[in-house]
Every structure is written in C-alpha cells, then in structure tokens.
Amino acid sequence: MEKSLLLNALIYLAAAVVAVPIAKRLGLGAVLGYLLAGMVIGPWGLRLIDGVEDILHFSEFGVVLLLFLIGLELEPKRLWSLRRPIFGWGGTQVGIVTLALFGAAIGFGADWKTALIASLGLSLSSTAIVLATLSERKLTATPAGSAGFAILLFQDIAAIPMIAIVPLLGVAAVQGSDAGWLSAAKAVAVIATLIFGGRFLVRPLIRMIAKTGLREIFTAFALLLVIATGLLMEWVGMSMALGAFLAGVLLADSEYRHALETDLEPFKGLLLGLFFIAVGMSVDFGVFLAQPWLVLGLVAGFLLIKISVLYILSKLFKIARAQQFLFALLLSQGGEFAFVVFGAAAAAKVFTQETSSLLVVVVALSMVTTPLLLIFYDKVVLPYFVSTRQRPDDVIDDNENLVIIAGFGRFGQIVGRLLHANQVSMTVLDHDPDQIDLLRKFGFKVFYGDATRIDLLRTAGVAKARLLVVAIDDIDGSLRLIAAVRRAYPLLPIAARARNITHYYDLMDLGVTVIERETFDSALQLGRQALQQLGFGPSRAEQAAIKFRAHNLQTVHDIYPHHKDQQQMVSLARQARAELEEMFAHDQMIRNNEIAIGGETGKDPDADDGRD
C-alpha cells in the first residue's frame, strides 16, 4: 500500500514536472499542461494510475483551499459591498444560461426532468480553472476577472439547492420525507456555528498556537481548520469550498491572515495541480469512442450556447468592451459541481447512468477547451478586436502631440506628470481599461490599446512625434515594440525604461541611448539620505552619490561591448569592483587627512559651510 502510494505520487509529480513546463513554453498555459498530463497517465493513456474517482474526490481539496485563501482576501465589509454582483450578476447568469440550455434540450426531444438537471449542472463553471487562469494571466483585478469571481461565488452557493432538488425529481420524490427541512435546519445551524466560532473561538486558538513558536504546528492547525470546516459543511450537504470560503472571510481581518496564506499556498498549488490531472484522467474516452460525433456535437453546442449568452450578459454587466469576449470564454466550461449534480441525478434515477457518463465527458472536454479558446482569443480575436473595434472614445486624435508614452503604470505616470506639468503635449497608450478611466478623471488623455502594435502607434501619430517614451512593464513587449519602431522609424528618438541590467543591454543593442533603470536612482537617493542619517553632511553625501553614479554608469558602458561574453564580463565586473574599492580607499585616506587637519584647526570636516 505504502509502495503504491509513493509510486503514484512519483507518477503525478513526474507528469506535472514534464507536461507543465512544455505547455508553458508552447504558450498553452499551466492548466492545459496538467489536463494533458492526466490524459497521458490515466486509464485511456498509459494506464499508470487507477482509481480516478477517489483521486478526483481527494484533489477537490485543492479547490477548497483556493476558496479559503480567496476568502482571506475579502473582509466581511468588502464581501457585503459585492452582494449586488454576486447575487445580481450571478443569479442572472445561472438563470439565463439554464433557460437557454433547457430550451435547446427540449427542442432536441429530451425529457423535461433530464433537460432541467442537465441545464442546471451545465450552467455552472469551473472555479478551479477560472481562478487559476485569472491568477496565471494576472487578470484577477480586471473587470472580467472581478465579474467572473462574483459569478463563481454565486455558483458555489447555487450548487447547494441544485443538488437538493435532484431527489425531488427522482424516485425519492414519491416516498416523501421531511429530510429536506432537516437538512436546511442543519445548514443554518452550521453557518451560525462558523460565524460564531470564527469570531470568538478560532482566533484565540490561533493566538495560542502562534505563541508556541512552532511553524509546523501552526501549519497543521491551518490545515485542520480548513479540513474541519469543509467536512462540517459536507455533513449537512453543502459545498466544502463554500464553507472554506466563509471561514476565510471571517479571518480576513485577523492579524494572522498573512501567516495562514503563506503556510497554505504550497498545498493549494499542489492540490490544484492534482485536481486538474485528475480531471484529465477522468475523461472517459470509451464514451467518446462509442459516440464521437454525438459527444463533439454536444460539446460544441453547449459551448456555443453558453459563450453566446455570457457575451450578451457581459454587455448587460457593463464589462469593458475589450474584455467582454474574454469574460465569455473564461466562464464557458462546465464546472466541478456538475460531476456531483449528475452523479446525484443518476443515483435518484432522474436519468440513466449512460446519460450521466455522457454529460460528465462533455463537462471534462469543455474544461480542456478553455485554455485552447483563450489561446485562440490571444492570437486571433484580441488583435482583430484592438485594430477594428476600439471604443468610440478611444479614437486617437491626430493632434501632432510631441511625445507618445507607451505604458502608463507607476513608471510612465511619473514621466507623464512631469511633461504634463510643463505643458508638453502627449498621447498615452495603455491596455488597462480601469486605469484609463481613472486617469481620464484627472485630466490625462489616455487611450486604450496594445502599445506593442506598430499599427496602433501609427494611428497615434508616431510618424510626427518628436519622442517615444517606452515605459511598459513587459520586457519582451518593450523590446518587440522598439524593434518594430526602429525598423519603421529609425530616426525617432526613444527614451526607455529598463527593468534590469540585462534589459538595459538589450535596449542598447536596439540603438536606444536614453535609458533609465527603474530602481537605480531611487536606490541611490535612499543611500544618500542614509549617509546623512549617519552624520554625513548633505554636501559630502551628495558628492558620494554623484561619484558612485558616475562610476556605475561608466562601468555599465565599459562592460557593454563584452556583455555577451560571460567570462570577459565577469572579469571586467571584478576589475570595476576593484577600482571602486580603490576609490573608497582613496576617499578614506583623504577623509583621514581632513580629520587630522580639522583636529588642528578645530573645524568639523562634516559641517556644512553654507555653499550647498
């Protein structure tokens, strides 16, 4: 048994370590890498793993941990402020998608009970896939990400009554029972216990555990808390993930929030990866091979209906136009709770085991399509959308602005504010709709668009500009942009932000001469102030900073011709370090002489002479 467990763990880890980096390198994303790894090692691949259902059930704990950690980020006040998108948008999404799917199923001759349960189950989306994708693509704070999270939270709540009504439509409905009322009473009692316990019992316990100073015990308690909460919710027929989320919210304003996040994050990542692998293994290719065209038709029809409805709803929810189709694709797949709903439906004889297996395959395949649809969005839809479907207020005026700033984040904003304060006209390009709306409120003229697209720069008037300032975060994107501009407009002056020394040299390779490392001068100024705090006079501290800056810049330019020769580069860096040490030693010698002279004359060499 122990050998089997370790062998299975070896297979999971090896599959993940091999598949995920390859998928990431190919631009497919980590989620699809896990799914493909599961297909390869599962019953329909190399058959290295058995007992897929047990693994899937265990790995769902990764989703539970994910919801707990999300709950830790949401204080009760903030959660209350989200009640409208959660219940308004979430209820609308589940209701309209269910109606659309129900109508299609009835149209194709399905029994109304089968159609209803199937439509309810398919209206739910995958919390694990959507939230993992949002995190991987850094989309959590975007309008599409915020709306998607609110809807997913409602879906987790809605899954409870969905599972509860399944027996009422099957054989259990004939028997009659008061179990439904009893379950509801249990659920209310458990939620009340969680709220009371989270406020008055758990926090003192965490404080007591923390006082032991044993990190492993604190981690064990964090896991115990999540597992106990999840099992308690499951006992009353509710979602484990929803219970964990509620527990997280109740601890969101706790002083131990960050410690809990840090300790649970590695477990969440590993178990989520295992969950995606298990989903990949659960794809029953036997059902697919038996009726391939039926399965493909159901998957295509399901995705078409759900994406269409979600796209229409994105307009109703007033999501930024650039992200409406992204929102629809993110939530297009079936979800984890669909497996539970369909399993309960088969047990209650609402529909047959064959129908349940067919729908499970449809859900699993729809999960696999999500990363592929997002790749299609990145490569085909987004470029077309940006070039042909800009918002009306994003049309760039050809007003011959002197400067174009590409990227208006924390770095670009400082450059823009300085130019703006000195009445320099400029056109700013950024890709974050929220950022654009905010900056426009303060009088900045900012336009939506991918600044790395040369056609957008032409529209912005780059041919007439006197300077292009490249301040975008993405290193590869900035290099692509500058290379394209250099080819099209070789005489246009470019001032660029460098993220690190390697980026600095890459910019120099492209002929950029005005480059600033984003942290260099701020760190230098902090060092100057540190010298002053230690008793150095302002003049001496400033001269030390100026001397260091000049030496560093000279060293960077001396090394540049050899920056691709690692051995020569290391040798020159050591030589520069030795020169700097020699300079410090020389300065110290001068300083000692000044002290000696000051001792004779009674003058403090650190004192300001009024000439600063």
36: exposed, middle or buried (Cβ count in 10 Å: 0-12, 13-18, 19+): buried
Average pLDDT, rounded, for the chain: 76
Q: Tell me which DSSP letter residue 84 carries.
A: I
- How many whole angstroms separate alpha carbon 279 and alpha carbon 384? 33
- How many whole angstroms separate alpha carbon 116 and alpha carbon 487? 59
Whether 96 and 313 have beta carbons less than 8 Å apart is answered as: yes
Q: Is the pLDDT higher at 583 or at 380?
A: 380
342-381: pLDDT as tens digits: 877 877 788 887 888 888 888 888 888 888 888 888 777 7
Q: What is the pLDDT of residue 400?
A: 53
Query: Is residue 254 predicted with pLDDT exceeding 60?
Result: yes
* % of the chain surpassing 90 pLDDT: 7
Q: What is the pLDDT of residue 246?
A: 77
- How many whole angstroms separate alpha carbon 517 and alpha carbon 343? 57
* % of the chain surpassing 70 pLDDT: 76
Query: Is residue 98 predicted with pLDDT exceeding 90?
Result: yes
Residue 511 — left, alpha, or beta (φ > 0 → left; ψ -120 to 50 → alpha)? left
Whether 35 and 367 have beta carbons less than 8 Å apart is answered as: yes
Average pLDDT over residues 546-551: 81
Q: Is the pLDDT higher at 513 or at 576?
A: 513
- How many whole angstroms separate alpha carbon 166 and alpha carbon 347? 9
Query: Is residue 300 predicted with pLDDT exceeding 90?
Result: yes
Q: Is the pLDDT higher at 428 or at 442?
A: 428
Q: What is the pLDDT of residue 214?
A: 77
Q: What is the pLDDT of residue 126?
A: 86
- How many whole angstroms separate alpha carbon 370 and alpha carbon 98? 20
Average pLDDT over residues 325-345: 83
SS3 605: coil
Average pLDDT over residues 125-141: 77
Q: What is the pLDDT of residue 586?
A: 67
Whether 348 and 166 have beta carbons less than 8 Å apart is answered as: yes
Q: What is the pLDDT of residue 104?
A: 92
Listed range (237-251, 433-447, 544-558) with the worst mean pLDDT: 433-447
Q: Is the pLDDT higher at 292 or at 611?
A: 292
Q: Which residue from 526, 164, 588 is spatially nearest to 345, judged by alpha carbons?
A: 164
**Which amino acid appears at position 71 of this protein?**
G
The two tokens of residue 247 are 């527990």
Residues 6+ apart with CB under 8 A from 173: 167
pLDDT band at 1 (very low <50, low <70, confident <90, very high): very low
User: How many separate helices (H) and strands (E) can be counted in the chain?
Assistant: 30, 6
Average pLDDT over residues 56-78: 72
Q: What is the pLDDT of residue 239?
A: 66
196-225: pLDDT as tens digits: 776 678 778 877 887 777 777 877 888 888
* 288-324 CB burial, b ≥16 within 10 A, e <16: beeeeeebeebbeebbebbbebbbebbeebebbbbbb
Q: Is the pLDDT higher at 282 or at 498?
A: 498
Q: Is the pLDDT higher at 395 or at 241?
A: 241
Q: Is the pLDDT higher at 516 or at 284?
A: 516
Average pLDDT over residues 65-81: 73
The two tokens of residue 301 are 């029809």
Residues 6+ apart with CB under 8 A from 257: 72, 251
Alpha helical stretches, state H, 236-256? 240-250
Q: What is the pLDDT of residue 610?
A: 42
114, containing H or E segment: helix 112-122
Query: Is residue 142 predicted with pLDDT exceeding 60?
Result: yes
**How many CB atoms within 10 Å of residue 3?**
7
Residues 6+ apart with CB under 8 A from 359: 118, 121, 122, 338, 342
Listed range (23-27, 53-57, 264-268, 533-537) with the worst mean pLDDT: 53-57
pLDDT band at 595 (very low <50, low <70, confident <90, very high): low
Q: Tell me which DSSP letter residue 611 carries.
A: -
495, containing H or E segment: strand 494-498
Query: Is residue 398 predicted with pLDDT exceeding 50?
Result: no
The two tokens of residue 373 are 């649809």
Whether 274 and 62 have beta carbons less than 8 Å apart is answered as: yes
Q: What is the pLDDT of residue 348?
A: 75
Q: What is the pLDDT of residue 299?
A: 92
Q: What is the pLDDT of residue 106?
A: 92
Average pLDDT over residues 94-100: 93
**Helices 353-376, 127-136: crossing angle, 10 deg rounding:** 10
Output the CA–CA distances (angstroms, integers) from residue 39 to 45, 225, 280, 374, in the order listed. Answer: 6, 33, 5, 20
Query: Is residue 12 predicted with pLDDT exceeding 50?
Result: yes
HEC sequence for 425-444: CEEEEECCHHHHHHHHHCCC
Whether 221 and 203 have beta carbons less than 8 Å apart is answered as: no
Dihedral, CA atoms, 548, 549, 554, 556, nearest 10 degrees? 110
Q: From the CA atom positions of the chain, what is the Rg in Å?
A: 30
Secondary structure (DSSP) of 17-82: HHHHHHHHHTT--HHHHHHHHHHHHSTTTT-----HHHHHHHHTHHHHHHHHHHHHT--HHHHHHT
Query: Is residue 557 predicted with pLDDT exceeding 80?
Result: no
Q: Is the pLDDT higher at 296 or at 2?
A: 296
**Which amino acid appears at position 270 of this protein?**
L
pLDDT band at 612 (very low <50, low <70, confident <90, very high): very low
Average pLDDT over residues 510-523: 81
The number of residues in the chain equals 612
Query: Is residue 3 predicted with pLDDT exceeding 50?
Result: no
